[in-house]
Amino acid sequence: MSLTRAEFDALAARDPDALYALFQQQAAQLAALAARVQQVEAQLGAHSQNSHRPPASDGPRRPPRSQRARSGKRAGGQPGHAGHALAMVATPDAVVAHHPAQCAHCGAALAGVPAVAVARRQVVDLPPLALAVTEHRAATARCPHCRRATAAPFPAGVTQPVQYGPRVLGLGVYLRHYQLLPYQRIGALLADLFGAGPSAGTLHAASLTCAARLEAVEAAIATALAAAPLAHADETSVVVAGRREWVHVVSTAALTHYARHAKRGRAATAAIGILPAFAGRLVHDGWAPYWHYPCRHGLCNAHHLRELAALAEQPGQGWAADLRALLVEIKQHVDQGRAAGQTAGPPETRAAFVARYRRLLAEGYAANPPPARAPAGPRRGRLKQSKARNLLDRLAAREAEVLAFLHEWAVPFDNNQAERDLRMIKVQQKVSGTFRDASGADAFCRIRGYIATLRKQAGQVFAALEQTFLGHPPLPSLLPE
């Protein structure tokens, strides 16, 4: 509402209460607009280092500041690093001898002259690539006594007149579920290498067969995760048959389990079945459904560092920068202690860290008082708080989970284990875009979980997939870490 000076003077003389109400209304509007401007500026300034946005969303803008401190070391291999290089083999597959034809000095012929020294160089290359065809012939014989005919059985798995063997199918599944190539590109690659390649339908059927044969292995991994002393959990969205669904991961440093579900919340984790039976320490990002489980919890502080970095960029929020620095300092203290072979820090050091943590939260609360009800606003209901206030409430109410890594050094600082495990699910979506049906998504989750577990345990993925098609997939180690 806009008033001229004459209207303002008349209203002030006639009805001061109405003028004050108008002033209050405009002040509330200004406060709301200022909050909206601050919100928009925060959205425009959000990047992967101060929000939950992935690094791929940063775009061509200036790269965000790295959270890593300079180590002072030179780039490249460090002193004492063993390095990796090709090494000569004692018995090469082929030897090609080279003898000088004539003297490089006088031109005399050297044919038949014995060598006085031999220098060796080896070239490591692929053998000629070709598919090997094995024909199985099942004979039929007639019994000389009863005169009935009996046919010899074909080997297990040989069911078609012409079919691909376990090594080709294992390679196709390896390329699909580990290297994340689409079916069409896998067929084209194998055709370029060997002159023939499976169709997309054959590769999809091979994936379903491989997943079916890994059902018992997946169940064993899930049981081992439920009994683990510490595990990580997270979830990410995927597109299945045009619908948004979710892939949930529960993992440790040695085991990985993926599961697809149409829901994101507690219905999904209950159907998957690992978390309801879990009794150890669960590290996660603080998502509400995880708190329903009575296990011990640990929060991901990488999320807190990003949120605090965003708040520190706002005026009057110096406590956020100090608290962020404190969390990093505690992490460095724990890392140094672990490197020295210790399992816990002195109680007085932990108490000092906790006291500083609480003091900075108090400063944060002083800088972010609770919202006040507007005179013309609703009289009941919970008032909307700022992001700073919401973060402070979480850090105060969940202090034990935030600082779990300080009190128990076996608890990690962040939930990067689960986030790394989910990263390849997002890469698959970027490469292939979607899953056409639920069966393909479920097969991908089961096979990918098996592959991720093998890789964590330094297992041979391709050989394991070949053995899976032969009917006996290798079982990874299920012992606790």
If one counts the domains in the chain, the total is 2
Q: How many residues does the chain have?
A: 481
Nearest to 440 by CA among 205, 166, 271: 205
Nearest to 274 by CA among 328, 232, 216: 232
Q: Verify that 276 and 311 share a domain, yes or no.
A: no
Pairing of strands 296-299, 281-284: parallel
Instruction: Please indicate whether residue 217 or residue 481 has the higher confidence score (pLDDT).
Output: 217
Cα 474 from Cα 213, distance rounded (Å) = 11
Count the Cβ atoms, other than its own, within 10 Å of residue 313. 13
Q: Verify that 176 and 244 share a domain, yes or no.
A: yes
Structure tokens at 197: 């390649």
Q: Is residue 252 part of a domain?
A: yes
Residue 20 — pLDDT band, cuts 50, 70, 90?
confident
Q: How far is CA 17 from CA 4, 25, 379, in A?
A: 18, 12, 21
Supply the mean pLDDT for the chain. Answer: 90
Cα 225 from Cα 257, distance rounded (Å) = 8
For 329-376, write each residue's pLDDT tens digit: 999 999 999 999 998 889 999 999 999 999 999 999 999 998 877 666
Helical ranges in 264-415 per DSSP H: 266-272, 301-312, 318-339, 347-367, 387-397, 399-402, 404-407
**pLDDT(62) > 90:** no
Cα 202 from Cα 236, distance rounded (Å) = 29
**Least confidently predicted of 21-30, 89-98, 404-413, 435-444:** 21-30
Q: Is residue 39 part of a domain?
A: no
Cα 199 from Cα 182, distance rounded (Å) = 11
Enter the pTM of the model.
0.82
Cα 409 from Cα 344, distance rounded (Å) = 6
pLDDT of residue 352: 97
Q: Are 180 and 425 in contact (CB under 8 A)?
A: no
3-state helix, strand, coil in the chain (%, to 5): 45, 10, 45
Q: Verify that 197 and 269 share a domain, yes or no.
A: yes
Cα 338 from Cα 408, distance rounded (Å) = 11
pLDDT of residue 30: 79
pLDDT of residue 69: 67
**pLDDT(420) > 90:** yes
Instruction: Summarize the confidence of residues 125-134 as an average pLDDT.
Output: 91
pLDDT of residue 75: 78
Structure tokens at 168: 């080709």
Instruction: Summarize the confidence of residues 444-461 as an average pLDDT.
Output: 96
- Measured at the CA of 473, the angle between CA 472 and CA 476, to 5 degrees, comes to 135
Nearest to 163 by CA among 188, 136, 192, 128: 136
**Least confidently predicted of 134-138, 193-197, 303-307, 411-415:** 193-197
Q: Verify that 393 and 448 share a domain, yes or no.
A: no
pLDDT of residue 322: 97
Q: Verify that 275 and 423 share a domain, yes or no.
A: yes
Give the end-to-end CA distance of the chain in Å, rounded to a whole number: 68
Q: Are 193 and 219 in contact (CB under 8 A)?
A: no
Q: Is residue 297 part of a domain?
A: no
Q: Verify that 258 and 310 share a domain, yes or no.
A: no
Cα 353 from Cα 371, distance rounded (Å) = 30
Cα 387 from Cα 394, distance rounded (Å) = 11
Q: Verify that 393 and 442 share a domain, yes or no.
A: no
Q: Verify that 324 and 357 share a domain, yes or no.
A: yes
Instruction: Summarize the confidence of residues 208-227 as an average pLDDT.
Output: 97
Q: Verify that 423 and 275 share a domain, yes or no.
A: yes
Instruction: Please indicate whether residue 82 or residue 450 has the higher confidence score (pLDDT).
Output: 450
Count the Cβ atoms, other than its own, within 10 Å of residue 139. 7
Q: Verify that 180 and 264 share a domain, yes or no.
A: yes
Domain hosting residue 183, numbered range: 163-280+418-481
pLDDT of residue 238: 95
Q: Is residue 81 part of a domain?
A: no
Cα 444 from Cα 232, distance rounded (Å) = 20
Structure tokens at 140: 């039929």
Residue in the block written with tokens 């190539």 = 181
Instruction: Summarize the confidence of residues 446-465 as an average pLDDT.
Output: 96
Q: Verify that 178 and 248 share a domain, yes or no.
A: yes
Q: Is residue 6 part of a domain?
A: no
**Rounded-to-10 torsion of CA 246, 251, 257, 262:** -20
**pLDDT(56) > 60:** no
**pLDDT(106) > 70:** yes
Cα 266 from Cα 259, distance rounded (Å) = 14
Cα 389 from Cα 383, distance rounded (Å) = 12
Q: Verify that 354 and 433 share a domain, yes or no.
A: no
Q: Are 256 and 453 in contact (CB under 8 A)?
A: yes
Nearest to 66 by CA among 48, 78, 52: 48
Q: Is residue 408 part of a domain?
A: no
Type of residue at 365 = Y
Q: Is residue 319 part of a domain?
A: yes
Q: Is residue 462 part of a domain?
A: yes
Burial class (CB in 10 A: 0-12, 13-18, 19+), 74: exposed
Give the DSSP H or E segment for 256. Answer: strand 256-261
